[in-house]
């Protein structure tokens, strides 16, 4: 029974691929994914594929309002993605962005509601910023503390924290609901606009977008050119090495998660104070989870993240537009997002590994 044949192909790890080749592969995957999505859409709607693509484009760029919405959504998604990235670089799987955002949003709403009659507007906003960062940091810091001390599984821990935050928000929604029994808070401070982030000119979302743009640049510098960023990278590569060179690993873990959670909380503040002016349990819109994918697709690089979050937001809005104009329900965009993600996730394999076929090296 000695049938040792060389297998049809074998797989080896690639050395570093030049960046243009890597992004070429990813671009190819996106194109394939778009084709697959078009196929699915055509099968479901029976429309001409070109028509479908035109609709997708229209969904994002059809009118100035849509362009603003696109950039607003892009900014929010990018903001969460930036927030979770330092943790990911440390190989700390923070899938609790959702909960940390809710905690921040809750703190913001609390400031807007409880301080509106006692403090001037600027002080309320200051309290909102500080308390939202603090709330998010606490929400992220708890799992980090246990990870650092007892190596508690952080993926599962942060995941559970999401639902505790959701229920906490649900609790306060009932406490603050207007009118009693409505089950929702409604727009907070509609007439006085206390605690609403200021509007630059007549562009409602410009401030959010600017804040996130600055955050993106700062995060890039922090991760790549600061001592903290270097420590994060070392801990992520190998905890033992980090310990050997004298980095206090538990301190880095807790510090990084406080930062990550705090920024998620800040994003929650931007959502509540700068965008929706209300608090619901679904205000985050699943961005905490989408951010995991955005960050990973961009290889944890803040600049590339602009591109990947743009891609996802563009597709979501496009697919939303398909749903409306062809009379499908809104969940269609989730299906398309899923399909595209599968393709991109799969394409990483061809960047990291090489397939050698048997015939390739005869003799």
Partner 1 sequence: MFDVVSFIPRAVVQGVPLLLGSTGETLTEKSGNLNLGIPGIMYVGAISGTIGAFLYETSLPSPDALNGFLAVAIPTLACLAGSLLMGLIYCFLTVTLRANQNVTGLALTTFGVGFGNFFGGSLIKLAGSDMPYLALSATSLCFRKTLPWAQTTGWFGKVFLSYGFLAYLAVVIALVAGYVLRHTRLGLHLRAVGENPATADAAGVNVNRYKYWATCIGSMVAGLGGLYYVMDYSSGIWSNNAFGDRGWLAIALVIFTIWRPNVGVLASILFGGLYILDVYIPSGMNLAIKEIYKMIPYIVTIVVLIITSMRNKRENQPPASLGLPYFREER
Query: Which residues are near partner 1 by CB under 8 A?
Result: 11-13, 93, 95, 146, 150-153, 155-157, 159-164, 166-168, 170-172, 174-175, 286, 289-290, 292-293, 296-297, 328-329, 331-335, 337-339, 341-342, 345-346, 348-349, 352-353
CB of 153 to partner 1, least distance (A): 6
CB of 287 to partner 1, least distance (A): 12
> Nearer Cβ to partner 1, position 53 or 172?
172
Residue 52 CA to residue 41 CA, distance in Å, equals 8
State yes or no: cis peptide before 179, omega within 30 of 0: yes
CB of 78 to partner 1, least distance (A): 17
Residue where the block lists tokens 């200021």? 198
Residue 313 CA to residue 62 CA, distance in Å, equals 15
> Nearer Cβ to partner 1, position 68 or 93?
93
CB of 101 to partner 1, least distance (A): 16
Question: 64-89 and 49-61 helices cross at what angle (nearest 10)?
Answer: 80
> Nearer Cβ to partner 1, position 67 or 156?
156
Burial class (CB in 10 A: 0-12, 13-18, 19+), 344: buried
> Nearer Cβ to partner 1, position 192 or 331?
331
Residue 315 CA to residue 328 CA, distance in Å, equals 16
> Nearer Cβ to partner 1, position 149 or 251?
149
DSSP run (H or E) holding 9: strand 9-13
CA 172 to each of CA 166, 168, 182, 255: distance values in angstroms, whole numbers, following the listed order = 10, 6, 13, 29
> Nearer Cβ to partner 1, position 113 or 125?
113
Burial class (CB in 10 A: 0-12, 13-18, 19+), 201: exposed
CB of 162 to partner 1, least distance (A): 8
CB of 71 to partner 1, least distance (A): 22
């Amino acid at each position: 029974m000695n049938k040792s044949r060389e297998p049809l192909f074998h797989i080896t790890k690639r050395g570093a691929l030049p960046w243009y080749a890597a992004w070429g592969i990813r671009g190819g995957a996106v194109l394939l994914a778009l084709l697959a999505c078009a196929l699915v859409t055509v099968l479901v709607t029976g429309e001409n594929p070109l028509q479908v693509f035109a609709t997708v484009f229209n969904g994002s760029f059809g009118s100035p309002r849509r362009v603003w919405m696109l950039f607003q959504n892009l900014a929010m998604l990018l903001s969460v993605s930036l927030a979770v990235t330092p943790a990911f670089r440390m190989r700390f799987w923070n899938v609790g962005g959702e909960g940390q955002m809710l905690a921040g949003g809750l703190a913001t709403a609390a400031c807007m509601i409880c301080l509106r009659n006692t403090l001037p507007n600027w002080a309320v906003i200051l309290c909102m910023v500080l308390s939202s960062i603090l709330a998010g940091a606490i929400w992220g810091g708890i799992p980090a503390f246990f990870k650092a001390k007892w190596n508690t599984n952080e993926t599962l821990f942060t995941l559970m924290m999401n639902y505790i935050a959701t229920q906490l928000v649900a609790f306060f929604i009932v406490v603050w609901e207007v009118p009693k029994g409505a089950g929702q808070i409604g727009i907070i401070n509609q007439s006085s606009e206390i605690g609403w982030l200021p509007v630059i000119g007549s562009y409602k979302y410009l401030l959010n977008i600017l804040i996130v743009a600055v955050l993106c640049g700062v995060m890039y510098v922090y991760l790549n050119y600061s001592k903290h960023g270097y420590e994060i990278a070392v801990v992520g590569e190998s905890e033992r090495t980090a310990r050997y060179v004298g980095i206090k690993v538990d301190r880095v873990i807790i510090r990084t998660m406080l930062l990550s959670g705090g920024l998620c909380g800040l994003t929650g503040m931007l959502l509540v104070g700068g965008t929706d002016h209300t608090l619901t349990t679904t205000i985050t819109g699943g961005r905490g989870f989408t951010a995991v994918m955005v960050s990973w697709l961009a290889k944890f690089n803040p600049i590339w993240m602009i591109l990947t979050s743009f891609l996802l937001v563009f597709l979501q809005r496009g697919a939303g537009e398909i749903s409306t104009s062809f009379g499908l329900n809104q969940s269609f965009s989730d299906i398309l997002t899923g399909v595209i993600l599968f393709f991109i996730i799969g394409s990483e394999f061809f960047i990291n590994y090489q397939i050698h076929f048997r015939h390739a090296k005869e003799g």
